[in-house]
Amino acid sequence: MIEAWRWFGPHDPVALDHIRQAGATAIVNALHELKPGTVWTQKQVAERKNLIETTPANRTPLTWSIVESIPVPDDVKRLGAGAKESIEGWITSMEAVAACDIKTICYNFMPVVDWTRTDLDAELPTGATCMRFDADRFAAFELFILQRPGVEKDYTLEQRERAKKTFDRFTQDDIDYLTMVIASALPGSTTDPLTIPGFRDKLEAYAAIDATVLRKHLAEFLAAVTPRAEELGVKLTLHPDDPPRPLFGLPRVASTAADYQALFDAVPSEANGMCFCTGSLGVRADNDLVAMAEHFAPRIHFVHLRATKREEDGSFYESDHLDGDVDMVGVISALWAEDRKRGGHTIPFRPDHGHRMLDDLHKTVTPGYAGIGRLKGLGELRGIMRAVERYT
């Protein structure tokens, strides 16, 4: 397998030399400075590739191997094949990437909001911090800050009462922080930052779209883009919903094995693949990650390895990479077996997220992507892989 590292570009606090020191050689990057829906040009992609791959003297070479992500425009999610201009623009961006010999593209199909948390620096017993999704804080946001119409029906009386107690303890700073974390687009997000009124307007635009319709629109999008992806030799990898369940009354269609199977049945193209994110999928107790890795192995072209720890009320937090609710040894063993079938060193993976710890506690970091926590995670994952390689 190929050790990769997500890099957010020239302004990332983690420099390219830091990635070299971590031991990764494949870079996961995107043109994050461009607004979602902007069509990428070959010139823009080539300039970023040149920045990444121009190796200073006596330095380890790096390769921009994966694009994460080319954002899927909002109207594609709402209109499917009807968003013809946006789909054609997405294909143009894919062509620009492929022209620069980058052949793996990650994307997601989450409507309105991308990955969602309520806390970016929840303190752990070690003194390090992690990202967390707190069910009561999220419910307080929905019920009393966003005030989504009809939201009460999605919560039990007990959940609403806990949320009210949580909200009553909020200061204005707490409200502002929670709104920023949920609505303002986390790093790497493929959706636009939202104000509370804008958030409500976006939700209203999806009022008539259920899971069946959203899944249909995803299939129509892929039916339009995969023929060109096949011609270009590009593998498209759909990232799971994060968290893998409906939020804000919106449907989610990449949360379970059944979701992915339905997608592959609808669009059987070899270009239609999966980004296997253990942290996102692991939030659901009914997702058997080892079985999914084995079943979908031929479709897995990119891997995010991290672990989450579930709590009884639906909360979860980012655990150490080898702890939490993910059988990381079993998952890596399944992925390693597939990688060997392909000849070895074919499946890129990256240590996804990481605790904020040591010196990073006192520095400006990208939430979820502090250097030291990911370095620790990569070291742990590398140890498993060496053991699997030796003893299987």
List residues with catalytic annotation. 239, 277, 304, 352-353, 369
Cβ atoms 178, 142 nearer than 8 A: no
SS (H, E, C) 276-321: EEHHHHCCCCCCCHHHHHHHCHHHEEEEEECCEEECCCCCEEECCC
DSSP string, 245-288: S-BTTB--SSSSHHHHHHHHHH---TTEEEEEEHHHHTTSTT--
Cα 251 to Cα 187, 209, 232, 255: the distances in Å are 22, 8, 32, 10
Q: What does the DSSP 8-state code read for residue 111?
A: S
What b/e string do you get for 68-77 counting C-beta neighbours within 10 Å, with b at 16 or more? bbbbbbbbbb
Q: What CA–CA distance (Å, rounded) separates 63 from 262?
A: 33
Q: Which amino acid is at 208?
A: A
Dist CA 116 CA 164 (whole Å): 21
Q: Phi/psi class of residue 343: alpha, beta or left (left: φ > 0; alpha: ψ in -120 to 50)?
A: left
Q: Look up residue 168 and give its two tokens.
A: 């009553």
SS3 content of the chain, % helix, strand, coil (to 5): 45, 15, 40
Amino acid (one-letter) located at 215: R
